[in-house]
């Protein structure tokens, strides 16, 4: 069977958006593009578009086959220690595009924890170096849309790839404008009420002055100054931390929720909160796996943590990016310290709702899922 591909025209449009708007690169600047065997076609499209825009592209290639042969030969430590020339190229770049790898994630996940640590030992230095040098960077989720991964996630590969490309080409300027408007209201704090005809009526509280994160698909000077220099493509999400000790009512998902690193799904998820805790959970059908997943969670797993609103008009069903679809709201329990909250538990669970009415202190924020 022929593997579904993305058209050159669609790839070019996404490349123009990512290079010109997301990274903000100008004529004469250098962009470093790193790709693996499965994503070389994508890297070539970005390279070609970069040249059309007057940029100076440099492509770094990682061979999937050579990588695994090195792992089998016990050379994981060497892989995790890139050559100085690569660090020098990164520091000198004006922008960086990374097409994820290796492609065989199941094989990687099956490696001993020690070996995984050796293979990714460069991560900390990479983030530190790019932040210090002020290099805007993006991680391209399109590279993760492989046949094996689509099968593991229960996704249609062709539709998944098409949606990731369309989401990556969506106008970041429009998402930025909407995201800023919503974030400005959420930062004021207050009582948040979520209502939907499916039986949802949940009240949360937003502490005033907490950080509200906007992932709008543009890495601008403000992001670089705050060292938020790395983004994902596609983008499109507003994230607010909620009062970890306040939640009352019920919320019923209208979309599939994922757990166990996205490999498992649960339908018809319904949560009920009382006095700031998640007190009951229910699902449509057999929920034994989900309950086992939840039961293993540490302290704090039953506390409300995050409220999000999707901004991307081109997303709908892309696995693990469904929450970024325009107007989708999500409620999380568990950890939120990464976004400026108080809960440090590593556990997270969420559900998504489409078409909800959302009010902040009685004033509409969304009506039937449409921002107002």
Same domain, residue pair 133 and 252: no
Q: Is residue 19 part of a domain?
A: yes
Same domain, residue pair 79 and 194: no
**What CATH number did the domain enclosing 12 receive?**
3.40.1830.10
Same domain, residue pair 133 and 22: yes
| Count of structural domains within the chain | 2
- Amino acid 3: pLDDT: 79
Among residues 169, 189, 213, the one where a domain terminates is 169
Same domain, residue pair 103 and 187: no
Same domain, residue pair 229 and 304: yes
Q: Is residue 2 part of a domain?
A: no
Nearest to 68 by CA among 106, 34, 41: 106
- Amino acid 245: pLDDT: 96
- Amino acid 2: pLDDT: 64
pLDDT tens-digit series, residues 9-43:
999 999 999 999 999 999 999 999 999 999 999 99
- Amino acid 10: pLDDT: 93
H/E stretch holding 95 reads: strand 95-99
Same domain, residue pair 155 and 177: no
Same domain, residue pair 217 and 159: no
| Max Cα-Cα span within the chain | 63
Q: Is residue 3 part of a domain?
A: no
Number of H helices, E strands in the chain: 13, 20
Distance of CA 63 to the CA centre of its chain: 25
Confidence band for 107, pLDDT divided at 50, 70 and 90: very high
Same domain, residue pair 55 and 142: yes
Backbone angles phi, psi at 213, to 5 degrees: -95, 130
Same domain, residue pair 278 and 226: yes
Q: Is residue 333 part of a domain?
A: yes
Distance of CA 41 to the CA centre of its chain: 23
- Amino acid 360: pLDDT: 97
Same domain, residue pair 165 and 179: no
Looking at residues 72-99, what average pLDDT do you find? Answer: 96
H/E stretch holding 201 reads: strand 200-206
SS3 of 220-274: the string is CHHHHHCCCCEEEECCCEEEEECCCCCEEEEEECCCCEEECCCCEEECCCEEEEE
Same domain, residue pair 216 and 364: yes
Q: Is residue 239 part of a domain?
A: yes
Mean pLDDT rounded to a whole number for the chain: 94
Confidence band for 152, pLDDT divided at 50, 70 and 90: confident
Question: Do 95 and 220 contact (CB within 8 A), yes or no?
Answer: no
* Domain assignment of residue 108, given as a range: 8-169
Same domain, residue pair 125 and 225: no
């Amino acid at each position: 069977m022929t593997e579904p591909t993305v058209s050159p025209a669609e790839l070019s449009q996404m490349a123009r958006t990512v290079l010109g708007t997301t990274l903000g690169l100008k004529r004469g600047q250098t962009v470093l593009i790193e790709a693996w065997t499965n994503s070389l076609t994508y890297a070539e499209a970005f390279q070609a578009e970069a040249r059309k825009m007057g940029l100076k592209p440099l492509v770094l290639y990682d061979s999937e086959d050579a990588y695994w042969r090195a792992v089998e030969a016990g050379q994981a430590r060497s892989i995790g220690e890139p050559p100085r020339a690569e660090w020098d190229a990164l520091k000198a770049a004006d922008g960086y595009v990374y097409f994820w790898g290796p492609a065989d994630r199941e094989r990687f996940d099956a490696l001993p924890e020690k070996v995984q640590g050796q293979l990714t030992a460069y991560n900390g230095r990479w983030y530190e170096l790019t932040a210090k040098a002020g290099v805007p960077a993006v991680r391209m989720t399109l590279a993760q849309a492989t046949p094996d991964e689509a099968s593991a996630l229960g996704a249609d590969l062709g539709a998944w790839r098409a949606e990731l490309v369309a989401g990556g080409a969506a106008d970041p300027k429009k998402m930025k404008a909407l995201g800023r408007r919503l974030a400005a209201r959420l930062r004021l704090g207050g009582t948040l009420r979520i209502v939907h005809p499916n039986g949802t009526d949940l009240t949360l509280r937003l502490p005033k002055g907490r950080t509200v994160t906007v992932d709008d698909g543009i890495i601008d000077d403000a992001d670089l100054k705050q060292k938020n220099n790395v983004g994902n493509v596609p983008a499109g999400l507003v994230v607010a931390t909620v009062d970890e000790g306040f939640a009352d009512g019920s919320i019923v998902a209208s979309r599939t929720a994922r757990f166990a690193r996205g490999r498992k799904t649960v339908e018809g998820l319904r949560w009920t909160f009382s006095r700031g805790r998640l007190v009951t959970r229910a699902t449509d059908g057999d929920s034994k796996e989900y309950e086992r997943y939840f039961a293993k969670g540490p302290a704090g797993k039953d506390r409300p943590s995050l409220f999000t609103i999707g901004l991307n008009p081109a997303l709908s069903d892309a696995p693990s990016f469904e929450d970024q679809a325009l107007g989708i709201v999500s409620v999380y329990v568990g950890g939120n310290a990464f976004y400026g909250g108080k809960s440090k538990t590593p556990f997270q669970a969420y559900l998504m709702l489409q078409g909800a009415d959302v009010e902040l202190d009685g004033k509409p924020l969304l009506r039937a899922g449409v921002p107002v």
